[in-house]
Amino acid sequence: MYAIGKREFFSLAKGSKSLMTISILFLISYFTVKPSGVFVSELTVEEAEMIHNAGLLIFILLFGQLIVAGLSHDSLNREMHERTIRFLVTRTSRAGILFGKFFGVWVFWFMCLAGAFLLTGIVVRKLDLFLFSQTMSLVTFQITVTLLFSVLITKPGYTMFLGIVTGLAFPVCGLFVTYTSNVWVNWLKFVSPYYYLERNDAAFLIIILLAGIMLSLANLIFKRREC
């Protein structure tokens, strides 16, 4: 599992799309800090402390699923499509492959976001660990959704298209079910990570639970998938 995770991490870290993603995160960190000082006096103390890192969370809320899918949509089905999965299953279990892939992608995003938050923290001399934890919980959920699609759909081209569709639809649908008063769809907010991010408590841990359910479901399907 560790070897697969390491391979997945380095395959992401050296890609041009990944370098572009890292650059965007750091630019957002920088430009969130720079202009915020102009109107920070108009905010409350609590709002002023959060505004510097809020740009990253908002970016992940709106575009995180799209970017995660763009980078990792073929993480598993590429192995099945190219038949390299047959070699991997001789070295480790299918669960080891899945969790290794998840670990590699998760560490990549952890390092990217940690670097971006650290940059912001150095500039404003305050590191918001709570907001960082919220952001990582959301990214964790987005990673598991992407891996689930990669297990369900065996052709990488299809998951790329689905990644674009879900990346655009998830924020819209998630925010809609979170704030709508329609009783027919309002209950869906409890399975949406967006609902738990609006609260300033440990509710974001439920997002980790939802991600665990997604990963477990992907594992069950992957075990029954033919190579």
In sequence order, the 6+-apart residues with CB closer than 8 A to the CB of 116 are: 25, 26, 28, 29, 56
Write down the pLDDT at residue 159: 84
Write down the pLDDT at residue 126: 73
Of 99, 98, 110, residue with least CA distance to 140: 110
Write down the pLDDT at residue 38: 45
Euclidean distance between CA atoms 117 and 152, whole angstroms: 34
Write down the pLDDT at residue 106: 95
pTM of the model: 0.88
**Cα distance from N-terminal residue to C-terminal residue, the chain:** 18
pLDDT, one tens digit for every residue, the chain (227 residues): 778 888 888 888 886 777 788 788 877 766 665 554 444 455 554 555 556 667 778 888 888 898 898 888 888 888 887 778 778 877 888 888 899 999 999 999 999 888 888 877 777 677 778 888 999 999 999 999 999 999 988 888 888 888 888 888 888 888 888 888 887 888 888 888 988 988 878 889 999 999 999 999 999 998 887 65
Write down the pLDDT at residue 1: 75
Write down the pLDDT at residue 188: 87
| DSSP designation for 180 | -
Q: Domain locations in the chain?
A: 2-224
Euclidean distance between CA atoms 131 and 57, whole angstroms: 8
Euclidean distance between CA atoms 54 and 215, whole angstroms: 28
What are the helix (H) ranges across 44-128?
45-72, 77-81, 85-88, 94-124
Euclidean distance between CA atoms 24 and 18, whole angstroms: 10
Write down the pLDDT at residue 226: 67
Write down the pLDDT at residue 26: 78
- Encode 187-206 in three state secondary structure: HHHHHCHHHHHCCCCHHHHH
Euclidean distance between CA atoms 210 and 199, whole angstroms: 17
Write down the pLDDT at residue 110: 93
